[in-house]
């Protein structure tokens, strides 16, 4: 049996591929390489292709005995989704439907979906549990929520179970030092800061300083990519034991402001960053923090790297390795 990883050459997908490979799994990576890189793939077989090509997907399933799918392929930049929503409904929703249809057709019964905390929008308290009403405020969040709905309906109609993991803010690089965030033109806060540290960018911006938070900047729940990757292996093991479909938050349950993250970068390097203040970005929530007890109870997930200083250090050390 093989495990299909879509988007496995990207930031998060490559970390899951690394863990799966170290565990001895047979892996097939399906990626169009628009943002992913071949160099990120440490295990498995790469097939270059696009999920908008139903014939290519069917061929992939016909030629390989696929036992489970881990789906990471998609677009993830919130401001871009506001400017170009049709791209997000194509890449995140329609392409996901193509993949789900192939699973049903070829009787692949286990599916793990890379979802997002953006499905919650702007919860009044700033904290979201899985029971918090979903109310996405941008096309990125809506496109992911639509896929969750499709999975729910398909699971109800077929012998098909899934785990949708709602990521909070993923950051850092693998403890192995072999992979990290290398996506070109990335907009993640810590990635941007690491590029300033390594002189790849002259400066960085804080988008919005007038939010009702302790220092006026947005608050997010930052989770180390290795902990996130382990959650996927735990989800795969859960489904392998006959677990039923679940939607689970994946975060640490506490947050930091943008200025606090920048302060942690400056503390790590001993240098001041060149930071300019900018206006708010479209589609940004003020505060978004997880309640994540459910994933621990159901999957037995045990995060190991809940330490902002470590997350920052790993991101900077990785950025120094990139040319």
**CB neighbours (10 Å) of residue 48?**
13
Q: Specify whether 136 is located in the same domain as 206.
A: no
Residue 282 has pLDDT above 80, yes or no: no
CA distance 153 to 150: 5
CA geometry: angle 96, 252, 271, nearest 5 deg: 105
Q: Specify whether 124 is located in the same domain as 240.
A: yes
Quote the pLDDT of residue 155.
Answer: 98
Provide the residue range defining the domain that includes 108: 2-171+222-250
257's tokens: 């402001």
The model carries a pTM of 0.95
Q: Specify whether 152 is located in the same domain as 291.
A: no
Residues forming a β-bridge with 255: none
Q: Specify whether 26 is located in the same domain as 78.
A: yes
Q: Specify whether 259 is located in the same domain as 164.
A: no
Active site residues per annotation: 140
Q: What digits encode the pLDDT tens for the residues 194-246?
A: 999 999 999 999 999 999 999 999 999 999 999 999 999 999 999 999 999 99
Quote the pLDDT of residue 281.
Answer: 84
Q: 126 in a domain, yes or no?
A: yes
Q: Specify whether 71 is located in the same domain as 211.
A: no
Quote the pLDDT of residue 183.
Answer: 80
Q: 283 in a domain, yes or no?
A: yes
CATH code at position 151: 3.40.50.720
Phi, psi of 33 (to 5 degrees): 60, 25
Quote the pLDDT of residue 76.
Answer: 87
Quote the pLDDT of residue 78.
Answer: 82
Q: Specify whether 274 is located in the same domain as 316.
A: yes
Q: 301 in a domain, yes or no?
A: yes
Q: In this structure, is the dihedral angle defined by the CA atoms of residues 208, 218, 199 and 18, taken in order, positive or negative?
A: negative
Q: 118 in a domain, yes or no?
A: yes
Number of domains, the chain: 2
Measured between alpha carbons, how far is residue 248 from residues 63, 216, 238 in Å? 32, 30, 13
Q: 64 in a domain, yes or no?
A: yes
């Amino acid at each position: 049996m093989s495990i299909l990883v879509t988007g496995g050459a990207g930031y998060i997908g490559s970390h899951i591929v690394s863990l799966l490979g170290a565990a001895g799994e047979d892996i097939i990576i399906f990626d169009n390489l628009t943002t992913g890189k071949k160099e990120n793939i440490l295990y498995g077989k790469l097939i270059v292709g696009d999920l908008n090509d139903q014939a290519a997907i069917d061929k992939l399933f016909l030629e390989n005995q696929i036992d489970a799918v881990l789906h990471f392929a998609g677009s993830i930049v919130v401001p871009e989704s506001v400017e170009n929503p049709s791209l997000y409904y194509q890449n995140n929703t329609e392409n996901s439907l193509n993949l789900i249809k192939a699973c049903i057709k070829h009787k692949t019964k286990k599916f793990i979906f890379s979802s997002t905390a953006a499905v919650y929008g702007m919860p009044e308290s700033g904290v979201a549990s899985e029971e918090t009403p979903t109310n996405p405020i941008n096309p990125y969040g809506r496109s992911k929520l639509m896929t969750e709905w499709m999975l729910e309906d398909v699971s109800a109609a077929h012998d098909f179970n899934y785990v949708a993991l709602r990521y909070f803010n993923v950051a850092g690089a693998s403890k192995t030092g072999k992979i990290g965030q290398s996506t070109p033109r990335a907009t993640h806060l810590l990635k941007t800061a690491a590029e300033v540290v390594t002189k790849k960018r002259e400066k960085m911006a804080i988008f919005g300083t007038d939010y009702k938070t302790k220092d006026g900047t947005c608050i997010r729940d930052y989770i180390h990519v290795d902990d996130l990757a382990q959650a996927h292996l735990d989800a795969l093991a859960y489904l392998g034991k006959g677990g039923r479909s679940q939607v689970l938050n994946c975060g640490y349950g506490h947050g930091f402001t943008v200025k606090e993250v920048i302060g942690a970068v400056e503390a790590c390097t001993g240098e001041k960053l060149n930071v300019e203040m900018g206006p708010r970005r479209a589609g940004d929530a003020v505060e978004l923090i997880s309640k994540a007890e459910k994933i621990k109870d159901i999957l037995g997930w045990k995060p190991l790297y809940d330490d902002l200083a470590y997350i920052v250090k790993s991101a900077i050390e990785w950025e120094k390795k990139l040319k």
